[in-house]
Chains A and B, each alone.
Chain A
Amino acid sequence: MPVDVGPRAGPHPVPVTLTINGMRHDLTIEPRVTLLDALREYANLPGTKKGCDQGTCGACTVLVNGRRIDSCLTLAIMHTGARITTIEGLADGDRLHPMQAAFLEHDGFQCGYCTPGQILSAVALLAEKRPLDDASIREFMSGNICRCGAYKNIVDAVAAAGKQNV
């Protein structure tokens, strides 16, 4: 008797339902579509950025169930049922998330392209309860490249937001 192998999908486009920033998104995509491309090209949420598409630069960082991950290194279809947070979902209406406000105040960005990833990574860093000294922040923010070189200001922003949090 053949064993039931559970649901299978693809290779052609299939319905995939994602919960992004608390909203349900019904997409029709191939299984090979990364979470990053699903956000940018199918869900009209281009705030998440594509920098390297190989998990090195961190521009595509999103939160999945509160944890930071590289959305370019994971498939959208793997995250049905998960809670996905992107930069578009971080502020509470017009009220900025304290981390966003800290990045603005400390000028923690220049061109802005790595910024959504930096901010989400920093939000996760606080949730991970990392020590908030300079060395620790630098270490745990090193999955996000900022080519403009705003690192010092990023560290200042994370430290400031961290103090508020405590």
Chain B
Amino acid sequence: MPANRFNNFTDYGIGIGLRSTHYNHILTRKPVVDWFEIISENFMVDGGRPLHILDRILEQYRVVQHGVSMYFGSAERPNREHLRRLKDLVKRTKTPWVSDHLCWGSVDGRYTHDLLPMPYTFEAAKLTAQKVREVRDTLEVPVAVENVSSYAEFHVSEMSEWEFLNEVVERADCGILLDVNNIYVSSQNHSFDPLTYVNSVPTERVAQIHIAGHSKYRKYILDTHDHPVIDPVWRLYSRAIERVGHTATLLEWDDSIPSFKQVHDEALKANKFLSSAALARAV
């Protein structure tokens, strides 16, 4: 299933996150990269260097927007200024789809700038889905929601995380940005089988996949995006690709960022799994 309505019927391969430490390398060496993912908020400004760099990148590369503060799960209405700026950026980048997290992070107009976990309730699913629809209708591009890593669970939850994800995407009729590293991190923190999660995802809605590294502490795992992808996460990725088919895949590396080549090489390891899946389907 290489293309679907949630990634605007595109057929993107392996991309990496656009990070400022790599700007110079990218703009001078012009490496071959299928696509870059940008953090929308970094470019939702009026001018200056950020937009200048973005325009130069757009001259040569395909860009997909990924947000970190829409907070689909926050009980308050979407911030109009945020939406206006996001829409301006969508027009600039011509991103085929927009993604953000299935989480909350603001309340009463105060922002935590964190991806806080949702209580898995029907009330929360209904409200979140409404917000996803409102954002999609405003932006006029498909929206994909990403599962987050979490470190806490709530007494009020009425279902599992994957059931909640399914409830939201069905109600919103939106796509999924499946982060297999986040599934792994949460499975370790909350003691569930990550394969059960991957096997429960509605494959026809997966617009994109994220892979990343994390940091292990004594009693929990933190989603730090500062290491290579570990084998158990590659295995989850392999299973996801086996179910979903060739899907736009992006490596996130946000801290202790190594050279461009190292990041790109790590991302390209996904090719092995994409090829195997393609072969298996052909047979």
Whether A and B are associated in the same complex: the answer reads: no
Using a CB–CB cutoff of 8 Å, the interface residues on chain B facing chain A are none
Using a CB–CB cutoff of 8 Å, the interface residues on chain A facing chain B are none
